[in-house]
Structure 1
Amino acid sequence: MGIKVNLAVILAQQNVKSKELAEYIGITEANLSLLKQGKVKGIRFDTLEAICRYLQCQPGDVLVFEEDG
């Protein structure tokens, strides 16, 4: 599977709305939705940093490597 994005789980755990996070990090809700679904090819470090700052988490909480099979 490769890299899995756990952003939706973290948002639910912390009861944070996507709209709030998108406004804070300066991206559209549509782009945040694509990120949450893992449908992006990459993420800028400053975006990841802003996500971690807002959610008070580590990059490894947001992005997880999963072996295939």
Structure 2
Amino acid sequence: MPIIVNLDVMMARRKMSLNELSDKVGLTLSNLSILKTGKAKAIRFSTLEAICKTLNCQPSDILEYVEEGKE
């Protein structure tokens, strides 16, 4: 898929665990794990907003577009 999820990179930069992010954002560990591993098919803007607010980052810090074949 041409959309790369860099949630794990931002979490590492902020020294935040998946459990801590889950508590602060109000999402289940399961849903965050699906997003973190890039297996999610969609993300709600409200979820993206909560993650960005908690990690003090921009959506482009978490989501990246890479053309097929250029990964």
**Shorter chain as normaliser: what TM range?**
over 0.9
- Secondary structure of the 2:64 match is strand
For each residue in 1:1-60, what CA deviation from the matched residue of structure 2 results, as whole angstroms up to 9, or x when unmatched? 410000001111111011111111111111101100010110010000000000000000
Q: Percent identity?
A: 52
The answer to whether the aligner puts 1:6 opposite 2:6 as a matched pair is yes
Unaligned runs of 5+ in 1: none
Q: What's the counterpart of residue 58 of structure 1?
A: 58
The answer to whether the aligner puts 1:16 opposite 2:16 as a matched pair is yes
Large movers: runs of 4+ above 2 Å: none
- Secondary structure of the 1:4 match is strand
Distance of 2:26 and 2:15 partners within structure 1: 19
Q: What's the counterpart of residue 26 of structure 1?
A: 26
Distance of 1:40 and 1:55 partners within structure 2: 19
Q: May I ask how many residue pairs the two structures share in their alignment?
A: 69
- Secondary structure of the 2:4 match is strand
Q: Using structure 1 for the length normalisation, give the TM-score.
A: 0.94
Q: What's the counterpart of residue 49 of structure 1?
A: 49
Letter in 2 for 1:34: I
Q: Using structure 2 for the length normalisation, give the TM-score.
A: 0.92
- Secondary structure of the 1:47 match is helix
Unaligned runs of 5+ in 2: none
